[in-house]
Amino acid sequence: MWVATHNSHMPRVSEATKSQHRERLLAAAAAEFAERGLGGARVDDISLTAGLAKGTIYNYFDSKEHIFREVIAAWWDRIEATREPLPDDASTAEQLGAVLRADIAVMADMEEFARTAFREVLFSSQDQASSLLPSWDPLDAELLRLMDQGRERGELRRDLGAEDHVRMFAALVNGFLIELWLPNSTLDLAELPAMVVDFFLSGAAERPS
């Protein structure tokens, strides 16, 4: 590896600047993936769109798959920043609703990337899909915590484990998203949180009047 040693006065990039560059690269990558998909995305275009020199992306990410994974991981950071604070004794329904409303609010800002991410993961092989997802997903961990808490409170079925509840909740979310993105869908993205939480907790059974 070539190391520049001839100029001892070469300015170093501060940590704050590195952080800014990384955020700009993530935003540019999300737009590039949304437009061209993972296969068609070009790393040089991502760097240039971020206002940086070609190749700069490799100072922060190892590959297209790496930055794709990091865009998804950054999604959680935005969800956490957006999620409305609730008291500790808020019901499972309220807490799941808050998480999902934040998720949908973030998704609304990057819906084209969300579609791309969904498609890339859905139509990849199992190994490829695993390489595109964060190795540890804070959203899954938070949902697992909420489901376990709900079981302990008697708000969720105890004959099913927290992991089973997370899978069912995720299946509902993903199913509604597929329906939303089908041609001529009449669903509204903003309506999904309430619909998902309602169906997850109550199902489709008729309720007593």
Question: What is the structure's pLDDT at 4?
Answer: 42
pLDDT in tens, 131-182: 888 877 888 999 999 999 999 999 999 999 999 999 999 999 999 999 999 9
Domain 14-61 top-level CATH class: mainly alpha
The domain locations on the chain are 14-61, 66-202
Average pLDDT over residues 13-35: 91
CA 110 to chain centre: 10
Residue 209's pLDDT band, with cuts at 50, 70 and 90, is: low
pLDDT in tens, 40-89: 999 999 999 999 999 899 999 999 999 999 999 998 889 999 999 999 89
Name the one residue in this structure whose structure tokens are 């998804």. 72
What predicted TM-score, i.e. pTM, was given to this entire model? 0.82
State the Cα–Cα distance between residues 154 and 174, nearest whole angstrom.
26
Is residue 110's pLDDT more than 50?
A: yes
Residue 2's pLDDT band, with cuts at 50, 70 and 90, is: very low
Question: What is the structure's pLDDT at 36?
Answer: 95
Compute the residue count for the chain: 209
Domain 66-202 top-level CATH class: mainly alpha
For residues 47 and 25, the answer to whether their CB atoms sit within 8 Å is: yes
6 vs 81, more confident: 81
Name the one residue in this structure whose structure tokens are 């509840």. 165
Nearest 5°: the CA angle 14, 80, 25 is: 40
Tell me if 14-61 shares its fold with 66-202: no
Least confident residue range of 10-19, 121-130, 145-154, 167-176: 10-19
Tokens of 144: 């697992």
